[in-house]
Structure 1
Amino acid sequence: MTAPRTRRPARSTDAPLRALGYVRVSTDGQVDSGAGLDAQRAALTAEAARQGFEVEIVTDAGLSAATLNRPALAEALDRLDRGEADVLIASKLDRVSRSVRDFAGLLDRAQRNGWRIVLLDLGDTSTPAGEMTANIIASAAQYERRLIGQRTREGLAAKRAQGVRLGRPGGIPADVLRRIVEAHDGGATLVAIATALTADGVPTARGGARWYPSTVRAALGSQDAAALRASA
């Protein structure tokens, strides 16, 4: 069902456009180093200055772009719909979405509610040429990602069938991994598990102080977690 069009509040034509600069990284290493986030912030701030935007940076750290279900992005989209900002700006298409369907929905949402999406690697997607280019790039990226995923799954399955242990040693103590598995199997969300581990001061596999949903997901997908469930 299509969401109703939002009526945007009137603004002076002389006022600068208000931009929400969206930055995202998906791995704990990128979050801890800050390199990926800092580079994106710098690029967006520079582009906003060039175009005369008033910019506010919003951040999703340690979250993938597989879906649009990310706190900072969801809030930014709601603010854009309400007319509290005029432009969503990001450094690359894959910072916002890796799904053709989701991105097409975003383009439609922006058009219906009177805001724009500007991607530094593609330009202004509000123009017909920009929209076409963005959709082509998104389609190609999704196709390539699915091919890589299929080949990876087939290769991993073959190695597992040969009894090969895959990846690095887990690095998570058995009692912590058991806690994660039991909490998840009991219905706890990834966010709830990560929050509880961080609050209890449990270090991550790399010795970090903060757990993220992606960290918990990786632990649940490990061979150690599979073995733990099998032995239960």
Structure 2
Amino acid sequence: MTTMIGYCRVSTVEQADSGLGLAAQRETIQRYADAHGWEVEWYVDAGHSAKNMDRPQLQAALDRLNVPAKRRDVGGIVVAKLDRLSRSLADFASMLEYARGRSWSLVAIDLGVDTSTPTGEMVANVMMAVSQWERRVIGERTSAAMQAAKHQGRHMGRRSALPKATADRLLELRSTLTLAGTADTLNAEGHTTATGTAWDEHKVCKTVHRLARDAEAARLREAVLAS
């Protein structure tokens, strides 16, 4: 009899304590497993979001799957809903490719993805194609937006990070003080620039303009991704 990993996740500690969200996921997975004659071993991340794949139990499950097929004691991983595994289609597509390369099954019951079956494999292929198309379109839009911003004199690359508390304090001071007064107060309070140096009038002026440009660049990126 095939043994599958049943993976469950809830985002908050409150949901974990109540057990309701986990119970519903377990019931869905168990019912599907019973219909396919599978045994289930459970891995549960309680109080973890799906913003990335860095979750203890998910990584433990993937480590168990990431062994040669002859030594692997489980056939794959099953989730009740895709968003329990990942909210990113790109991440899910990457995991599908990972599973295919290592010959284990990935099942997302709500979407009908079950790479142990021909139909489920077809659905997975469609999802991977859509994800690849989405990544290329977003990349092209972002590139076009960055080129337009460059022509307008905006900078959209990475810089040394200024702590948010320092940036907020700088803008607060600058709303009532001169450039020199802002610099003096920041230095007196122990705030440094992004590169760790002391403030002066020129650095205050330059940083204020940069923060404004960065805010506009962030708004532009969001507009591109939402379009």
TM-score (norm 2): 0.51
| Aligned counterparts of 1:130 and 1:50: Cα–Cα separation in 2 | 20
Q: What 5-or-longer segments of structure 1 have no aligned partner?
A: 1-15, 143-232
* CA shift in 2, pair 1:24/1:48, >3 Å: same
Aligned-partner residue type, residue 75 of structure 1: A
RMSD: 2.5
| Aligned counterparts of 2:31 and 2:62: Cα–Cα separation in 1 | 22
2:124 alignment counterpart: 131
Q: Are the aligned partners of 1:122 and 1:134 in contact in 2 as well (CA < 8 Å)?
A: no
Pairing 1:101–2:90 present: yes
- 1:14-60 deviations in Å (ceiling 9; x for gaps): xx211000000002221121100111111111111110011111100
- 1:174-226 deviations in Å (ceiling 9; x for gaps): xxxxxxxxxxxxxxxxxxxxxxxxxxxxxxxxxxxxxxxxxxxxxxxxxxxxx
Residues 113-132 of structure 1: pairs in structure 2 closer than 5 A: 113-126=102-115, 127-132=120-125
* CA shift in 2, pair 1:115/1:40, >3 Å: same
| Aligned counterparts of 1:36 and 1:137: Cα–Cα separation in 2 | 29
Q: Aligned match of 1:59 in 44, 47, 63?
A: 44
Residues 149-160 of structure 1: pairs in structure 2 closer than 5 A: none
Q: What 5-or-longer segments of structure 2 have no aligned partner?
A: 136-227
Q: Are the aligned partners of 1:98 and 1:138 in contact in 2 as well (CA < 8 Å)?
A: no
Cα shift at 1:68? 0.5
1:227 alignment counterpart: none
- 1:98-122 deviations in Å (ceiling 9; x for gaps): 1222112101110011101111112
Q: Which has the higher contact order (CA 8 A, sep 6+)?
A: 1
* CA shift in 2, pair 1:39/1:133, >3 Å: farther
- The alignment of Structure 1 onto Structure 2 pairs a total of residues equal to 127
What SS does structure 1 have at the residue aligned with 2:110?
coil
TM-score (norm 1): 0.50
| Aligned counterparts of 1:101 and 1:115: Cα–Cα separation in 2 | 19
Residues 60-99 of structure 1: pairs in structure 2 closer than 5 A: 60-82=45-67, 83-99=72-88
Cα shift at 1:63? 0.1
| Aligned counterparts of 1:84 and 1:45: Cα–Cα separation in 2 | 19
| Aligned counterparts of 2:94 and 2:24: Cα–Cα separation in 1 | 27
The structure with more helix, counted as a fraction of residues:
2
Q: Aligned match of 1:47 in 32, 42, 52?
A: 32
Q: Are the aligned partners of 1:60 and 1:71 in contact in 2 as well (CA < 8 Å)?
A: yes
* CA shift in 2, pair 1:95/1:136, >3 Å: farther
* CA shift in 2, pair 1:67/1:131, >3 Å: same
Residues 74-223 of structure 1: pairs in structure 2 closer than 5 A: 74-82=59-67, 83-126=72-115, 127-135=120-128
* CA shift in 2, pair 1:138/1:49, >3 Å: farther
| Aligned counterparts of 2:81 and 2:130: Cα–Cα separation in 1 | 11
Pairing 1:22–2:7 present: yes
Cα shift at 1:133? 4.9
Q: Are the aligned partners of 1:25 and 1:62 in contact in 2 as well (CA < 8 Å)?
A: yes
